[in-house]
Structure 1
Amino acid sequence: MVNTGLPLGGTCVNVGCVPSKRLLAVAEHGAAASDNPFDAVTYPEEPTVDWADALDGTDDLVEQFRQENYVDVAEHFETDIYEGYGKLIDSEGQRPSSNRTSSGDDTTIKVVDGSDEGAKISGEKALVATGSSPWTPPIDSLETVDYYTSETILEERDLPESIVMIGGGYIALEWGQILHRVGVDVTILQRSKRVLSGMEGQLGREIQLAFREEGIDVVTGNDFQQVRSPASDGGAEAVQQGVAVETIADDEPREFTADALFVATGVQPNSENVALDAVGIETTDDGTIRVDKHFQTTNPDVYAAGDVIGEPELETVAAKEGNHAVKNAFGDEGASIDYDAVPAVVFTSPEVASVGTTELEYMDEHGTCTCRTVQMEDVPRAKAVENTDGLVQIVKHHETDEIVGVHMVGPRAADMIMEATLAVKFGLTIDDIIDTVHPFPTFSEAFKYACQAFRRDTSTMSCCVE
């Protein structure tokens, strides 16, 4: 393995899933007093969050995960780790990929930077799993101002009083809620008409409502014009004093100002300077590596997996893709992934989760849709614990009754989505779910309620019917 940039383990353990989910939990506990729905519970004073201490604890957790789950595992399997920037070189004298053989040490990686610079590693096959990096949109003058990303914010021990965020995907929402709950005034600006624009429409609308009720300003439908920053006097020593985002929203020019800017507009594949073209590997216009369904690139000796091959950019998907790529490279197993059965989760409060086909996608394909939506406020467990934000929507096949899509917002949605994922993956029908006894009272009953809504009026149903 050749690794550079982030330490061993890549995005998820170092700057992605692990630190963000811990900080979401820190922020949730920090907001416990203000979110308390019970009159019987009182707090003597508002809790406070020591952000620097929270980051220190997060760093300790990341270091532990990195050591136990990556460094120790690599050592266990006697994996050689080369620190540096790897480039593919043509060990067969730049011959076209169509003339390549597939025996012997046909692929070579040269380390061109880092502590192991100059090393060459050759083998039968190579796997490109270089991940992705935060992407910056083409907004006028954005390159002239300082801004945070989901990586650099983890280095900031002294948070600003206010932040304006550009972006409305899961990174923007998770970090927006974290920062708001630790005391930062947050404004989220999204280009499209709703946040989470790639998911079922109801989910974005529901989470926007929850955020606005919490005090996070969410403005959608922005046509960004310019980003600028006033600077203090001092010539070459001038420092950035706040930021202003000029945009057009609802056909009206608007300006949003804050102490700092956070850009969370997605990611781009790390495919530059790897010398892919030198060994006949094709990419798309945005740099995504072209692979077939078995993760083989246009060079038969090189496979690719993870964010560098495009959506869905999820750590769990990357791990599965890498696993399948190796099986296919050395065992010719023909392993592939059914991406329609891959769940997506946003770990905000309330949580957002989705798997399978959306209502709009089904309408486009079949010209009809059989869908049902139940509100979390109708679920007994949600009522009992005063946590009723959200909904569950099911999309079923209009002829077979098989569940083809499930989309939810609400408490425990990240855990509830797995039952729905199994239903989509294995073609279960709504009656299969109805016929399965669910524990009462649980949030997971919301999924069963949504299935029952196809068969009866759930408003006239007792708690534990069927």
Structure 2
Amino acid sequence: MKHYDVIVIGTGPAGQKGAIQAAKLGKKVAIIEKNNVLGGAQINTGTIPSKTLREAVIQLTGTNRRGLFGEAYRVKKNITVADLMAASQNVIRHEWDVIRGQFERNNIDLIWGAAHFEGPNLLQIVRENETEMLTADKFLVAVGTRPARPDNIPFNGRTVMTSDELLKLDRLPKTMIVVGGGVIGTEYASIMATLGVRVTLVEGRHQVLGFLDQEIAGAFQYFLRQEGITLRLGEKVSAIREVEHDRGVGDTNGNGKGELVQAELESGKKLHAETLLYAVGRQGVCGILGLDNVGITFDDRERLKVTDNYQTNVEHVYAAGDVIGFPALASTSMEQGRRAICHAFGQDVGNYNTALFPYGIYAVPEISMVGKTEEQLTEDGIPYEAGIAGYKELARGKILGDEDGMLKMLIHQETHEILGVHVMGTQATELIHIGQAVMALNGTAEFFINNVFNFPTLAEAYKVAAYNGLNKLAHIR
């Protein structure tokens, strides 16, 4: 029976970085993967495939160049699922190779199979025709989550699906209902609309992406409507079923009948489309790990509660990534996994500012934010001014064909400290890191005034926003 200093369960971002950190500390490490591919949801069903799909859609449709070449501009007239999936699979295969190479270079034992705790330090690995027993001093649980699949939703992976099945479509539908106005729902709704699919988005709240600054969220909703997306806000779905419909004139299937998905809303409205994407929440998967044999408890969504050091209620078992809940980002998961292992082996990594985690929404258009929103500052009684820069003011914005993007900088009225940055438009998730760095160093808006930026760049938006905000404070037009 093999013994390790630490066993990591799951090869997603938290597991990868945790295992590599342990190896860098000279520890004997094993990492367990129950699926037949590496990388967890990040590589196979979530972050990488969805973002690659977005990039492929933007490039093939030419939507990012129409501001420069005109609304009729299009790179490829008839875009197929094969076109989109080819790009995604190419990136996924590359990421598999990268992860495997990292494990090999760091002498991490990669073990395939499903992990099950048989005791506090004893782990059973179950494969198709065999089992294996392993022991370890420490454990890191990084098993991630899966899309929520309520029993009352008739999922079939073909017409009613989660985000996992959406990536396996064999054809592009003409119409789609998206249930859920969170990050996953809005990303896929905007991507599909860019492809020409007629999308209806249903969200129970009166605003999509409720954590965003309201001005940014409002502008984003405007762009969604401009892309032809119908927003059903403040509406909840009461029932979903498949129904027959008359195909009408031109039917070539003989019986004139076809199938549609019907979503009935609590208000009595009935929506119909060829497909329905259910994107309301995610569910943990730690219930199959045998954690009761260790004395570890989890909530009704199979998420684990941890301390600030990522310890569970059992001292030698740590957890990181989506399985511990919010913020459930690939970026934060990586750092959580690393910090968990450092604490497990007595390494001091210092504090890090969780208030400055950047958030990225890879919709069309892209959105990113760091720090406080206007609403939060108002609630906290913090005096601020907003400096605004529109991409239409930037030469680079015109060159890229994006004249609708914007950057908002929230500036303390007295100290001129930067309290929050919110960006919507091309390269938003890259631009945000400039604001994040200046905020982490307690910088003020004057930093952007007194330093030179390359020209023409989108980063110039920071200088424009700083001038705009400070001029308001000085009552200069």
Q: Same fold (TM over 0.5)?
A: yes
Give the match for residue 78 of structure 1: 107
How far the C-alpha of 1:411 sits from its partner, in A, is 1.9
Contact 2:392-2:405 within 8 A present in 1 as well:
no
What's the secondary structure of 2:163's corresponding residue? coil
> Aligned-pair RMSD on alpha carbons?
2.9
Shift of 1:377: 4.9
2:235 counterpart of 1:222: yes
Say which of 242, 264, 268 aligns to 2:260. Answer: 242
Aligned equivalents of 1:5, 1:231: Cα separation in 2: 37
Q: Does 1:286 align with 2:297?
A: no
CA displacement at 1:417 relative to structure 2 = 0.3
Deviation at 1:330, TM superposition (A): 1.0
Letter of the 1:196 partner, please give it.
L
| Percent identity of paired positions between Structure 1 and Structure 2 | 25
Partner residue, 2:421 = 406
Q: Tell me the TM-score normalised to structure 1 length.
A: 0.85
1:52-74 CA distances to partner (integer Å, 9 max, x unpaired)?
2321342232112211x211221
The range that moved more, 161-170 or 73-82, is 73-82
SS in 2 for 1:407: strand
Asked if 1:356 is matched to 2:385, the reply is no
CA contact (8 A) 2:311 2:318 kept: yes
Secondary structure, aligned partner of 2:332: helix
Q: Does 1:19 align with 2:34?
A: no
1:169-188 C-alpha deviation (Å, 9 max, x unpaired): 22222222222233322221
Determine which of 6, 19, 40 is the counterpart of 1:10.
40
Q: Which amino acid aligns with 1:176?
A: A
- For residue 379 of structure 1, the aligned residue among 357, 376, 393 is 393
1:167 is matched with which residue: 153, 175, 180?
180
The alpha-carbon distance between structure 1 residues 144 and 153, as it changes in their structure 2 partners (threshold 3 A), is closer
> What's the CA shift for 1:391?
2.5
Higher relative contact order (CA 8 A, sep 6+): 2
Q: Is the 8 A contact 2:365 2:425 kept in 1?
A: yes
Q: State how many pairs are aligned.
A: 434
Letter in 1 for 2:194: R
The range that moved more, 50-59 or 143-152, is 143-152
Aligned partners of 2:167, 2:433: CA distance in 1, in Å?
Answer: 30
Contact 2:304 2:323 in 1 (8 A): yes
Please tell me whether the aligned partners of residues 190 and 220 of structure 1 are also in contact (alpha carbons under 8 angstroms): yes
Query: For the residues of structure 2 that align with 1:224 and 1:40, how far apart are their CA atoms?
Result: 39
What TM-score comes out, normalization by structure 2 length?
Answer: 0.83
**What 5-or-longer segments of structure 2 have no aligned partner?**
1-30, 246-256
Superposed displacement of residue 135, structure 1 = 1.7
- The counterpart of 2:362, out of the listed 347, 360, 379, is 347
Q: How far 1:50 moved relative to its partner?
A: 2.0
2:62 corresponding residue in structure 1: 32
Specify whether residues 277 and 361 from structure 1 end up closer, same or farther in structure 2 by C-alpha distance, changes over 3 A only.
Answer: farther
Equivalent residue runs for 1:269-308 within 5 Å: 269-308=284-323
Shift in Å, 1:128: 0.2
Pairing of 1:55-134 with structure 2 (within 5 A): 55-67=85-97, 69-91=98-120, 107-111=121-125, 113-115=126-128, 117-134=130-147
Residues 419 and 35 of structure 1: is their aligned pair in 2 closer, same or farther, counting only changes over 3 Å?
Answer: closer
Q: Counterpart amino acid of 2:313?
A: T
Distance apart, 1:382 and its partner CA: 5.6
SS in 1 for 2:185: helix
**C-alpha distance in 1, partners of 2:51/2:269?**
33
The one-letter amino acid of 2:58's match is E
241 and 42 in structure 1: CA distance in 2 versus 1, 3 angstrom threshold? closer
Distance of aligned partners of 1:401 and 1:149 in 2 relative to their CA distance in 1, 3 Å threshold:
same
Cα distance change of structure 1 residues 295 and 334 upon mapping to structure 2, 3 Å threshold: farther
Q: Secondary structure at the match of 2:269?
A: strand
Name the amino acid aligned to 1:79: I
Q: Is the Cα–Cα contact under 8 Å of residues 294 and 334 in structure 1 kept in the other structure?
A: no
CA distance in 2, matches of 1:41, 1:378: 17
CA contact (8 A) 1:374 1:391 kept: yes
The 3 A distance-change label for structure 1 pair 443 and 109 is: same
Tell me: CA distance 1:363–1:39, structure 2 relative to 1, closer, same or farther (3 Å). closer
* Aligned-residue offset at 1:34: 9.4
Paired residue secondary structure (1:207): helix
Distance 1:439 1:35, change over 3 A: closer
The structure with the greater share of residues assigned to strand is 2
Deviation of 1:439 after TM superposition, in Å, equals 2.2
